[in-house]
Amino acid sequence: MFSRRLVFSKVGGGSNGARHFGGTVVGDGTVERDKKMKPRVVVTLPLPGAVLESLSASFDLQAWSKPESIPDAVLSEWAGEADAILCSLGTAITAELLASSPKLRVISSISVGVDHIDLAAADEVGLPVGHTPEVLVDSTADMAVALMLAVMRRIVEADRFVREGRWGTGWSTDFFLGSDLSRATVGIVGLGPIGRAVATRVQSFGAKVIGWNRSERNVPGVQQVDLDALFEEADVVSIHTAATADTRHLVSASRIDRMKQGAVLINTARGAIVDEVALVAALTAGRIRAGLDVYAREPLPHDHPLLRLDNVVLVPHLGSATVATREAMLERALINLTAGLRGDRLPWCANPGVYPDS
Ligand code: DGY
Q: How many CA atoms lie within 13 A of 131 on its CB side?
A: 17
- Residue ranges lining ligand 1, Cβ < 6 Å: 111-113, 136, 317, 319-320
Q: How many whole angstroms from 96 Cα to the centroid of ligand 1?
A: 24
Q: How confident is the model at residue 158 (pLDDT cuts 50, 70, 90)?
A: very high
Q: How many whole angstroms from 329 Cα to the centroid of ligand 1?
A: 9
For 153: left if phi > 0, alpha if psi spans -120 to 50, otherwise beta; the answer is: alpha
- pLDDT of residue 195 exceeding 80: yes
- pLDDT of residue 114 exceeding 60: yes
Q: How many whole angstroms from 330 Cα to the centroid of ligand 1?
A: 12
| Least confident window among 12-21, 126-135, 261-270 | 12-21
Q: How many whole angstroms from 320 Cα to the centroid of ligand 1?
A: 6
Average pLDDT, integer, range 238-255: 97
Nearest to 129 by CA among 306, 352, 281: 352
- Index of the ligand 1 atom closest to the CA of residue 318: 7
- Index of the ligand 1 atom closest to the CA of residue 136: 2
- Index of the ligand 1 atom closest to the CA of residue 319: 7
Q: How many CA atoms lie within 13 A of 56 on its CB side?
A: 18
Query: What is the per-residue pLDDT for 28?
Result: 41
Average pLDDT, integer, range 242-269: 98
80 and 101 Cβ atoms separated by less than 8 Å: yes
- pLDDT of residue 179 exceeding 80: yes
Average pLDDT, integer, range 279-286: 98
46 and 64 Cβ atoms separated by less than 8 Å: yes
Q: How confident is the model at residue 218 (pLDDT cuts 50, 70, 90)?
A: very high
- pLDDT of residue 86 exceeding 80: yes
Q: Which domains does the chain have, with CATH numbers?
A: 18-135+323-354 (3.40.50.720), 137-314 (3.40.50.720)
Phi first, then psi: give them for residue 28, nearest 5 degrees. Answer: -85, 10
Query: Taking the alpha carbons of 195, 200, 203, 204 in that order, is the dihedral positive or negative?
Result: negative
334 and 108 Cβ atoms separated by less than 8 Å: yes
CA 68 to chain centre: 16
- pLDDT of residue 150 exceeding 70: yes
Give the active site residues: 270, 298, 317
| Whether pTM exceeds 0.75 | yes
pLDDT averaged over every residue in the chain: 92
With the most atoms of ligand 1 within 8 angstroms of its CB, the residue from 45, 86, 89, 241 to mutate is 89
- pLDDT of residue 8 exceeding 70: no
Q: How far apart are the first and last CA of the chain?
A: 26
CA 29 to chain centre: 35
- pLDDT of residue 2 exceeding 60: no
Q: How confident is the model at residue 357 (pLDDT cuts 50, 70, 90)?
A: confident
- pLDDT of residue 144 exceeding 90: yes
Average pLDDT, integer, range 33-60: 90
Query: What is the per-residue pLDDT for 155?
Result: 98
